Structure 1
Amino acid sequence: MPKIQSIHFCAAAIPLDRVTSFSNRTVSVRHYGLVKVRSDDGVEGIGFCYVGSAGGALFEAAVEQLLAPVLIGKDSYAVEGLWAAMYQESLLQGRSGTVMRAISALDTALWDLNARTHQLPLHKYLGAVELESVPAYASGGYYLEGKTPAMLGHEMASYVDKGFKAVKMKTGRLSPKEEEARLKAARDAVGPDVELMMDCNNGWVDTTQAMQYIRRFEAYDPYFIEEPFGPDDIESHAKLARLTRIPVATAEIGYGRWYHKELLDKGATSILQTDALVCGGITEWKRIAATAASYGVVMCPHWFHDVHAPLVAATPNARYVEFFWDDQVLNFRRLIDRQLDHQNGRVVLHQTPGLGFGFEEKAVQKYGRWSVAK
């Protein structure tokens, strides 16, 4: 009966090598929240999350002041009970945003700790569908200064050359005509048989604006249009889903099972991109995935392939993991000591206990500083 002995926590701020833009924002640095949960058996589980381009201190405060006191001294196997206790403790401070991301990181660390205690890879501890690898799409296509449609096409083709059968690009920052030119260049570069996805990052304000783009996009057969509107504008997602044959994907910033059920009830999405490190951790992600299966909706989780690969491997209605093959955008990769590999468009699963990697301590010390709660 392992009991939680201590929790180390840290906010690490890592500058991007090159300033990178989305449809409606530009990023130059990323803040990550890190945790290490140690049991009195001497086993340690890790968790993490992204907390934006600023505000890492909010993550540290949530862990230290709200959540660690709920966990210290408790049995690490009581995952459901500990999740409920953390959620109850944070009702007034935030059931979404940074506080929920802190819950997500700690909950993930508990699953990692328990899987390591049993010496099982996380996907097997959860109950695997896939044992060796999972299908992935290569994510990129960001806006960079001087980047032309032809350059975007070359980038997308380079992922196909690496073996990926599905790729994703950004959209929504430029005019409809300019975005069509970018999409055409990408489709021409990858050919008709590669699944080409588009990510708008909450770029549009209403369906009238969205359809000015979507009508141009339909001819190029995108696999989905991601996050066309703000995450809480569920009605516009549902309306757009009725107006276009392009599947609507969303929920990467979605929090908790109740928000996701409203998306499903209103027909606002065909693909849930629920992020376990945003929505409430592995515990909540599993609940959401099971609910989605009842609606016939597929899971394609957002970002952090390091944690989502084993979740996709353990989830029958999960199709893809989003994969970043370098550390230029998902620079979290610099903070861990072992990377996932990919072969023929599939991410190869770790076979060592838990998540299968740890933090690269020299890098963590470069970008942040550990504190401890006991």
Structure 2
Amino acid sequence: MTTIRKIEAATASIPLPAPTGFSSRTVTQREYTLVRVTGDDGVAGIGFCYPGHRAAGLATMAVTDLLAPILIGTDAHLVEGAWNAMYQESLLHGRVGSVMRALSAIDIALWDRNARAANLPMHKFLGGRSDRVKAYASGGYYLEGKGLDGVYNEMAGYKALGFKAVKMKVGRVSASEDADRIAAARDAIGPDGILMLDANNAWKDLPTALGALRLWEKSNPYFIEEPFSPDDIINHARLARETPICVATGEIEAGRWRTKELLDAEAAIILQQDAAVCGGISELRRIADLASAYGASLCPHWFHDLHAPLVSAFPSATYVEYFVGNAVHNLYDIIDRQLEVDNGELVLHQTPGFGFNFDDAALAKYLVGDWQTIS
């Protein structure tokens, strides 16, 4: 039996190259909770989560003060047992948000540790389908001075890299202004390209959302992501009934139970649950099976380095969200290896676990305080 000898956690804060706009907020930095889990065989695995653009220390504290102490000395291979123990311990502190993201980071690190100990890449450790997965290029953010030419050039650049599918932000400006931006993106990728839209909870009511989508339908979007607050399941369901555009949501949802509510209400046909948010690889696997039973598809939210092996392993999963460069997805800045992109697909690592580690030299610039160790 291999037991968990120590769990380490730290917080990193990484500035973005430029302020980046969503429908309802502007982000200048990303903050991450980082985790290492080491067994008494000396093999360590890593995990991480994005608690938000500030106060990530809340999730880091949940790792060190709440969850890690109950796992020390337990069997590293009994991951489901660890998940249940952490979930039970978190009941009074919150089954969503920072505490669940902390649980997710530990669960991810456990899976990585065990795959490394088995000397298998993660997608094969999980029983994957392929060494390659389809990806869409995610971008189209609101940047100062970007304009329609900027949208066109960005999307044309993704097409030139071989991507068959792209995603852009909507909802920060008027529906007619966004219609022009969407049309520019469609022109850039051509009629056969797959165009996805992300509203980041932009709307409060059905008429406003429907008015925008009907204006945009002529550009043939594949899906509209997070049209309303994640708690507004009713309006998601109403919108899904009224528009031919697929409704997608779930990136900040936690747990299979909430996902079942979405599916029962027919509020989304594309699920975007994130392993670093919903409860780790253990919970995302359950959600993927649930999606399959309902005829829905899983397109996990960002962290392509984490999600690409999972998309290979889960039959209901279709696309990985991929970010070119570090202007938005700056986890790049603190890991030591990148996935290869080939003709719009990600080529999976053949090295054990996730195939990358934290870059200690880079972390020296971005850590907020020191690594904390529970043993």
**What range is the shorter-chain TM-score in?**
over 0.9
Please report how far the alpha carbon of residue 60 of structure 1 lies from its aligned counterpart in structure 2 after TM superposition. 1.8
Which ranges in structure 1 are unaligned for 5 or more consecutive residues? none
Between 1:285-294 and 1:209-218, the stretch displaced more is 209-218
TM value normalised by structure 2: 0.99
Read off the aligned partner of 2:5 and give its amino acid letter.
Q
2:60 counterpart residue number: 60
Between 1:32-41 and 1:364-373, the stretch displaced more is 364-373
How many pairs does the alignment contain?
373
1:289 counterpart residue number: 288
- CA distance in structure 2 between the partners assigned to 1:371 and 1:43 by the alignment: 18
Local SS of the residue matching 2:191: coil
Pairing of 1:136-175 with structure 2 (within 5 A): 136-175=135-174
1:334 counterpart residue number: 333
Read off the aligned partner of 1:265 and give its amino acid letter.
D
- CA distance in structure 2 between the partners assigned to 1:152 and 1:49 by the alignment: 29
Q: For 1:249-304, what per-residue CA distance to the aligned partner results, in whole angstroms no more than 9, with x for missing partners?
A: 00000100000000000000010011000000000000000011000101100010
Percentage of identical aligned residues: 58
Pairing of 1:200-349 with structure 2 (within 5 A): 200-349=199-348
Pairing of 1:115-130 with structure 2 (within 5 A): 115-130=115-130
Pair 1:36 & 2:36 matched = yes
Please report how far the alpha carbon of residue 352 of structure 1 lies from its aligned counterpart in structure 2 after TM superposition. 0.2
CA RMSD between the two structures: 0.7
- CA distance in structure 2 between the partners assigned to 1:313 and 1:335 by the alignment: 24
Local SS of the residue matching 1:269: coil
Q: For 1:197-254, what per-residue CA distance to the aligned partner results, in whole angstroms no more than 9, with x for missing partners?
A: 0000011111111012011111111010000011111111000000100000000001
- CA distance in structure 2 between the partners assigned to 1:176 and 1:304 by the alignment: 29
Read off the aligned partner of 2:75 and give its amino acid letter.
D
- CA distance in structure 2 between the partners assigned to 1:266 and 1:56 by the alignment: 33
Between 1:283-292 and 1:203-212, the stretch displaced more is 203-212
Pair 1:350 & 2:349 matched = yes
Local SS of the residue matching 1:210: helix
Pairing of 1:41-52 with structure 2 (within 5 A): 41-52=41-52
2:90 counterpart residue number: 90
Read off the aligned partner of 1:184 and give its amino acid letter.
A
Local SS of the residue matching 2:187: helix
- CA distance in structure 2 between the partners assigned to 1:82 and 1:305 by the alignment: 25
1:373 counterpart residue number: 374
- CA distance in structure 1 between the partners assigned to 2:70 and 2:238 by the alignment: 42
- CA distance in structure 2 between the partners assigned to 1:5 and 1:65 by the alignment: 16
Which ranges in structure 2 are unaligned for 5 or more consecutive residues? none
Moved over 2 A (4+): none
Please report how far the alpha carbon of residue 182 of structure 1 lies from its aligned counterpart in structure 2 after TM superposition. 0.5
Q: For 1:80-122, what per-residue CA distance to the aligned partner results, in whole angstroms no more than 9, with x for missing partners?
A: 1110100110111111001100000000000001100100000
Q: For 1:321-359, what per-residue CA distance to the aligned partner results, in whole angstroms no more than 9, with x for missing partners?
A: 000121110011111000111000000100000010100
Please report how far the alpha carbon of residue 153 of structure 1 lies from its aligned counterpart in structure 2 after TM superposition. 1.1
Please report how far the alpha carbon of residue 68 of structure 1 lies from its aligned counterpart in structure 2 after TM superposition. 0.6
- CA distance in structure 1 between the partners assigned to 2:241 and 2:72 by the alignment: 48
